[in-house]
Amino acid sequence: MALIEAGDLTKIYTFGDVEVKALNSISLTIEKGEFVAIMGVSGSGKSTLMNILGCLDKPTSGTYALEGVDISNLDRDELADIRNRKIGFVFQGFNLLPRTSAIENVELPMLYSGVHAADRKQRSMAALKNVGLEGREHHHPNQLSGGQQQRVAVARALVNNAPIILADEPTGNLDSKTSNEIMELFTKLNRDSNITIMLVTHEADIAAYSRRIIKFLDGRIVSDETVAK
């Protein structure tokens, strides 16, 4: 059974009398443990696809199954539960709470899961150690570099043991050296923990870390290639 199976996904946005087809009959399959980069110019549909795969939005038509579960008819609470248990998100802007320490930021997904405080702390410490931030647990975002802030975001994505990380331009606010460090971290997590990683990027050198590159144009997949390693 594939981890992700999408069939004929279409997403139409309506602006007054104008309809914009952000996705046009997209079909794809992602197996567990893949490392996939999604590329395309602005407006090509790549972020719309990620929002649907991340259960943040629903398609206008088509099917989407996550670990064999059809998510198309789930209500808002059920979608939120799936997001919390099965998907870790990493965004370009880090999305950390500024007045909250690193460990408290990492604990956030577990608050929604009802995890006991002692377990939250233990798991958050382990996640921060896993991304190389041991000793920085009580630093606030303004006390951390951009790369360290993104590592906190990755730890937050990992802490609920989600099988998938969806990363939307995760290196967009980072310099080249720090970008490479974050991508090496993703590579390690994919290789050592078999975490499925899907990332949106417009940078070819970032996409080259993946093992599969899917390119979008005008809401359609125009190429889907395995990267030789």
- CB within 8 A of 112, min separation 6: which ones? 80, 84
What's the pTM? 0.89
Measuring CA to CA, which residue among 108, 1, 123, 111 is closest to residue 65?
1
Q: Are 134 and 127 in contact (CB under 8 A)?
A: no
* Residue 229 scores a pLDDT above 70: no
- The domains of the chain, with CATH numbers, are 33-57+76-226 (3.40.50.300)
Which whole number is the average pLDDT over 197-225?
Answer: 94
Residue 110 has pLDDT above 90, yes or no: no
- Residues 88-108 have pLDDT tens digits of 999 888 888 999 999 999 998
